[in-house]
Structures are given as structure tokens and as C-alpha cells.
Amino acid sequence: MTKINTLNDGVVSVDDEMIANLDASLRGGVSGPGTPGYEKARVIWNAMVDRNPGLVVHAKGASDVRRAIEFARKHNLMMSIRSGGHQIAGHAVVDGALLLDLSAMTSVSVDPIAKTARVEPGALLGDIDKETQAHGLILPVGINSTTGIAGLTLGGGFGWTTRKFGMTIDNLLSAEVVTADGEIIICNDSQNADLFWALRGGGGNFGVVTSFHFRLHELGPEVMSGLIVHPIADAPSLLGKLTSITDSADDALTVWTVMRKAPPLPFLPEEWHGKEVLIFAACYAGDMAEGEKAMAGLRALGNPVVDVIGPHPFVGWQAAFDPLLAPGERNYWKSHDFAGLPTKAIDTLVEAIGTLPDPQSEVFIAHVGGAMARVPAGETAYPERSAHFIMNVHTRWSTPDKDEACIGWARNLFDDMKPYSTGSAYVNFMPEDEADRVDNVYGANMQRLSQVKVKYDPGNFFRCNHNIPPAESAAAAE
């Protein structure tokens, strides 16, 4: 007998014969505590999440997903969903629940003539970059190659090429979804359009996506990109000047700002290792010569410690920050959106960097806007299109004894920066303890999301997420 948590906060014992029958019906399989498959599925990127599901279903296709959902519904089981396992909140793994593991579904199929790709939910961004770049094409995604495509897309998705080509969701053409009642459906602008709208930013609230169909764009194989490192003492002046550059920047130019203690990178002079620095990370999604011109103003700022802007393979640039984001460390994030960075906000940030709680911790400010900002706020579930910057307070450390200090530092900086924010946030950057923030994140789109929820998941079966509850009745959806 295997004990699994139920949707009504109880526990049910599922006998071995039922589990064996489920296993026999799957292309993938089932694993329980103590088996290698179970251990691999329950361990995710954020080491703060150390949970033990009651049972794991390893899916290899939509039919496996449907059978897992039907099994869970029949026995009223709580179910969590894991794809890449990279989400900061760790909703992929829930103690005692049935874990639906999509990590084996990694197919990426590119159509170079149509400039599209079909991608399974277990694929990582690095998988996609390698396949699309084989044809000189890219999909706008995030900046860490080990991130999973499913969670990234369902939350919005932005990175180095978003200002030029839009968010990941802006390039989603259709999706195959298994709903709470086990139906496999296609959604796009003409079929199940309400669900298609909700998937683009509404997270995993509405079903399990088993296939994404994306639009691709020409770029690469090299991009003008790299880092410019400055002493943190110069940050107030530099950040003030940066905003004048970003306010008028070509859509192809993206400049992210990172403030942290300098890691021991080989291109940094050894005397700077461990000292607080400001780093401009820049990428130009276009012609190399034009990129060099577009970055001239940025490269002329201040007296940098080092400037390593130059041509880099796009695939390599997409993975450049992987060593600083490797799995196995403890992580806690807090995030705000900003229309701009006034002087007081910059001063607050720089002061906080002087009290970093761990050498691995950092604050980054993502430069967005461009094509992303030209999509109307109501066109997708992701609502915040006007922000010019997105901040992630990223605390990262190795041992539990530093939990209180690191989490407290992140929360304090978050509170201090709140007066300068728009009030919204990027849902993929929200930790588990921000359930009360979901309404503000979706703003005017929240009511419509609740109406879509009641249509496709009236019983809130998909609840292990930043949850959007269903409208109170079917009548509310009309």
C-alpha cells in the first residue's frame, strides 16, 4: 500500500495492484520512494526544496499524462507537475502528492522553412537553442540554459532577445493541453482561444501542456555580446547614465545590470575577486557591426575594470551565466517591476550591495520593453507590458544556517524598493510565500483568468502552483 495525499487534505492508501496496473498502462512508468527514478524526480534546482512525493509518474507523452490525471482524479489525489524543475517556488514537488514528471519529454523539432518549432515540456532552454541554431534560428527565451521551457513559457518568458522579438508567449502559436477531465485538446487563436489566452502567463493553472508550437526568428550563429565590469563605487553615476541609454535604445539592444561580489572569472584581475562590482551584461540581437555601434555609448561609460564585449556564439552566450546558477544551492528570490530607476531607487540598491549576505547573492535588473511593450496588456494573461526594468533580488547560499539572514536581506530590500515599483511582478520570480501577491500580479486580467479556470478546471485540480482559484460558479464565467 502507498499513502498519497488527497485534494481534501486527507490521505488515501492506494494498493499495489492499482499502482501496478497504472504502471503497465504507461509508456513511461511509475516509481516510489527509494528507487533511482523517484530520487531523480524529487530533486530540483532549488536545494531549499527537499520534499517527498507519495508516488511519481514518469510521462513520455500525452497519453501518459492523461492516464496520470485520470488516476489522480479517480482517487482524489493531490498532483504536482514537474517539467524542468527550475521554478524558484518549488511547486513541482509536494510532500505526499502524486508527482507527474515530464522531464523525459524533451523532443525539439524545427521546421526551418516555416520557421517554427514543436517542443515538448521537459525540454530545457539549452536543448532548444542547440536545435534552432542549427538552422540559424532562435526562440526568445530566458538567460539560463538549464531552465525548463514549460514553466518559462507559462509564466511569460523573457531574456536577451525579448526587446527585439517579444516574450516567449508572444511567439507561442499553439499548444496541446491535457485538461483536468483528461481531454487532450489543441488551443490557439481559433481553437479554445480562451484557454490559449490564459496559458500565456497564467502558469500551470489550467492543464498540462504536452507540446508547444513556437514561431522562430533569424539570428546567429554569433551575436555581439558580453560583460563590462565596474567598481560598485561608480554605480550611482553609471546607473543614472545607463537609463538615458536604455530609454533611447534600439530594440535589438538589451542591457542587464548585475550587482554582486565579483566571482573568480578568468578574465577578471585576481585583485577584484570577491569585491563588490557592477556588471553590465549586454547583447545585440541583430547585425554585428550595428551592434558594435549600438554599444558604443555603454562601453564609453566610466572606467571599467574589464570590457569583454565582442562576437560570441549565441548558444554560448545563452549559457554564459550557467556556472553561477548551477543546481544544488539554496535560493530565495524577490522581484519588482519598474517603469524607471530614480536616483533614490539607485541609492537604495547600491547601499544594499554593501551588505550582501553571501558571496553568491546578487541583484539583477533586467532591461525589457521594446517589442514586449507593444503588446496590449489584455492580449495575454501576462499583464505587465509597460515596465522598463524587472528586478530580481537573488539570494543564494549553501547551508541552512544562513537561511534567516539571506531571506531576511532579500525581503528587506524588496520592501525598500517597493515605493519605486509598478506594483506588479514576474510570476516566475515569485517564491512560494507570495500567494497573497497573485491578484496584484495579474491585475485587471485576474477576473478573466478565474473565469477560464472555472471552465477548464472548476474543482481546482491544478492547484500546486501560484494558484488562480476558479470563479465561484459557472454563471460567473458568462
**Closest by Cα among 138, 147, 153 to 225:** 138
Same-domain pairing of 169 and 277: no
Residues 90 and 230 in one domain: no
Residues 201 and 309 in one domain: no
Final residue of a domain: which of 198, 218, 238? 218
Q: pLDDT band at residue 474, thresholds of 50, 70 and 90?
A: very low
pLDDT tens digits, residue range 58-100? 999 999 999 999 999 999 999 999 999 999 999 999 999 999 9
Q: Which of 218, 252, 275 is the last residue of a domain?
A: 218
> What does the pLDDT average to over 406-412?
98
Domain assignment present for 293 = yes
Task: Report the CATH number that the domain containing residue 351 is assigned in CATH.
Answer: 3.40.462.20
Is residue 191 located within the same domain as residue 274?
Answer: no
* Opening angle at CA 91, ends 88 and 97, nearest 5: 155
Q: Which residues, in sequence order, are bridge partners of residue 99?
A: 56, 80
Q: Are residues 363 and 318 in the same domain?
A: yes
Query: Is the backbone peptide bond immediately before 221 cis, with ω within 30 degrees of 0?
Result: yes
Q: 44 vs 106, 112, 128, 233, 384, CA distance in Å?
A: 17, 33, 20, 37, 28
pTM for the model stands at: 0.96
Residue 82 lies in a domain: yes
Cell 533614490 found at: 344
Query: Nearest to residue 80, comparing CAs of 119, 45, 51?
Result: 51
Task: Give the model's confidence band at 475: pLDDT under 50 very low, under 70 low, under 90 confident, else very high.
Answer: very low
Tell me: pLDDT of 427 over 50: yes
User: How many separate domains does the chain show?
Assistant: 3
The string of DSSP letters for 128-168 reads: HHHHHHTTTEE----S-TTSBHHHHHHH----TTHHHH--T
Provide Rg for the chain, Cα atoms: 22
Residue range of the domain that includes 20: 2-101
Q: Which of 76, 101, 126 is the last residue of a domain?
A: 101
User: Do residues 297 and 230 share a domain?
Assistant: yes
H or E element, residue 174: strand 172-178
Residues 63 and 10 in one domain: yes
Q: Are residues 300 and 343 in the same domain?
A: yes
Q: Is residue 451 part of a domain?
A: no
| DSSP bridge partners of 67 | none
- Residue 92: CATH number of its domain: 3.30.43.10
DSSP 3-state helix, strand, coil percentages of the chain (rounded to 5)?
35, 25, 40
Q: Are 161 and 285 in contact (CB under 8 A)?
A: yes
